Amino acid sequence: MSNLAEKLDHPYIAIHKDFCGGSPIIKGTKFPVRSVVRYVLHQGLSPEEIVGEFSHLTLAQIYDALSYYYDHKEEIDRDLRDNSEAMLHTK
Summarised one tens digit per residue, pLDDT across range 8-58 is 789 999 998 888 889 999 999 999 999 999 999 999 999 999 999 999 999
pLDDT in tens, 60-79: 999 999 999 999 999 999 99
With a cut of 60, say whether residue 6 has pLDDT above it. Answer: no
Taking alpha carbons only, the member of 22, 7, 13 closest to residue 60 is 13
Question: CA 6, CA 4: separation in Å to the nearest integer?
Answer: 5
| Bigger pLDDT: 89 vs 17 | 17
Q: Is domain 2-90 annotated with CATH 3.30.2130.10?
A: no
pLDDT of residue 3: 54
Q: Is the pLDDT of residue 88 over 50?
A: no
Confidence of residue 86 (pLDDT cuts 50, 70, 90): low
61/89 Cα distance (integer angstroms): 31
Cα–Cα distances (Å) from 57 to 4, 44, 64, 81, 89, in that order, read 27, 18, 11, 24, 30
